[in-house]
Amino acid sequence: MSVETAADPPAIGGEADPEVLATVVAAESVLSRRFGAKIQLIEPEDLGGSERSVVVRVRVSTSPFSLPRTMVLKRYLGPPEGHSDSFVREAASYQLFTALASEDRMCPELFAHGSDSRLVVLEDLGGAPTLADKLLGDDARAAERALLSYSRSLGRLHATTAGREADFDALQRRLTPPDLKDPLAVDGAAALDELPALLADELGLPTTPATLECAERGRQLLDNGRHRAFSPSDSCPDNNLITTRGVRFLDFEGGCVRNAIFDAAYLRVPFPSCWCPFALPAGMTDAMLAAWRAEVRVVWPDFDDDAVFASLLLDAQLFWVWLSTWQHFTRPDAARTHSSSLVHTPRASQVLLDRWQQLAEAGAAAGLDPVAEHASLTHAALRKRYDASQPLPLYPAFR
């Protein structure tokens, strides 16, 4: 029975958004096909979603199976956009983890998915706080524990999925594999190609050959066969739940297998796919990286070598800073798609300035003078352009 010809509409009661109603109907159809019997869903709760998707919590009313009392539905609206089908990435990602033992599953369990309706039916993790909730709260110790738990969980995620690239590729092929294995491949390459000219045009800054050589190592990391594991791709604080069973990752719209050093650098920047982050206290990112390394050293023992790790980490950090700067100048609206619920979030210029300042300090600490000088000069030019005098403030929990 197709979604359009379902004989019995869901017993949702009251007025419902048409897209929410369509999502519930599609989920009933997908679950019925999956389990071979009618399953009725009621009491839909709109969880927000985005312009691209609808996310709904529902209660299971009738089912001949031992299903959980509630589930979360996510349905993608419209056809795939561009080179990356987010539904395929998300469905394959949840399938990959659902096939693992429960202790290795660091995301909601997948109960069913439908390619025709572009929908996934997921375990409901309830009202657990997100990492963002902890950082925007008023308990510094709780925020610190959450950050370290998040970093350890990210390391376990990488250690668990290292060597599973072929499995992930096979799962995507069963659906419709995206044109590119890594969503970073397009924008990352464009940033590496175009940022030097942008810096010259916007800030009057040349990019030295030595700096270009350093930046090119980021391009090599995109294709590097070593240290590859699954990446959620967008691990912003609001995409991570702090549950009693540990951190659970959400939102695999960009899920892919890539060099894990990009996610490690994600901790240092931090959160480069977000344009609403605050600063972290001194020493916090070092502690987060240590927690991450403790989990991945089992599969990548060379990361125990500080020199090896520091060099790769700086290459990935430079990549992220270049990418976010390119986005800032070329896609000012698209680059700010992530925002917290706070009214007073940092200005994008403050975020960008902090990233260049952190890069300058990291380059100096690593003894890589071209990166340190390049970052210092860019930071100074940006500070002059935006007349910035106030540094990026700390997350509220650490003030």
Domain boundary among 123, 145, 167: 123
The residue length of the chain stands at 399
Q: State residue 180's pLDDT score.
A: 83
Cβ contact 184:223 at 8 Å: no
Report the distance separating Cα 76 and Cα 64, nearest Å.
Answer: 28
Does 339 lie in the same domain as 287? Answer: yes
Q: Which residues pair with 54 in a beta bridge?
A: 75
Terminal-residue alpha carbon distance, the chain: 56
6 in any annotated domain: no
394 in any annotated domain: yes
Does 72 lie in the same domain as 104? Answer: yes
Q: State residue 334's pLDDT score.
A: 57
46 in any annotated domain: yes
Q: State residue 8's pLDDT score.
A: 46
Q: Which of 62-66, 213-217, 236-240, 314-318 shows the lowest per-residue confidence on average (mean pLDDT)?
A: 62-66
Does 154 lie in the same domain as 77? Answer: no
Query: What confidence tens digit (pLDDT) does each residue in 234-285 have?
Result: 889 999 999 988 999 999 999 999 999 999 999 999 999 888 899 999 999 9
pLDDT at 339 > cutoff 80: no
Does 211 lie in the same domain as 349? Answer: yes
Find where tokens 């100048």 sit.
329
Write the CATH number for 261.
Answer: 3.90.1200.10
Does 65 lie in the same domain as 203? Answer: no
Does 315 lie in the same domain as 373? Answer: yes
Write the CATH number for 80.
Answer: 3.30.200.20
pLDDT at 15 > cutoff 70: no
Does 77 lie in the same domain as 164? Answer: no
392 in any annotated domain: yes
2 in any annotated domain: no
36 in any annotated domain: yes
Report the distance separating Cα 12 and Cα 395, nearest Å.
Answer: 40
Domain boundary among 75, 103, 123: 123
Which pLDDT band, with edges at 50, 70 and 90, does 335 fall under? very low
pLDDT at 79 > cutoff 90: no
Q: State residue 336's pLDDT score.
A: 52
Domain boundary among 68, 93, 123: 123
Does 98 lie in the same domain as 205? Answer: no
What is the number of structural domains in the chain?
A: 2
199 in any annotated domain: yes
Does 25 lie in the same domain as 155? Answer: no
345 in any annotated domain: yes
Q: State residue 338's pLDDT score.
A: 46
Residues of the chain with pLDDT > 70: what percent? Answer: 93
Q: Which domain holds residue 50?
A: 18-123
Task: Please indicate whether residue 223 or residue 69 has the higher confidence score (pLDDT).
Answer: 69
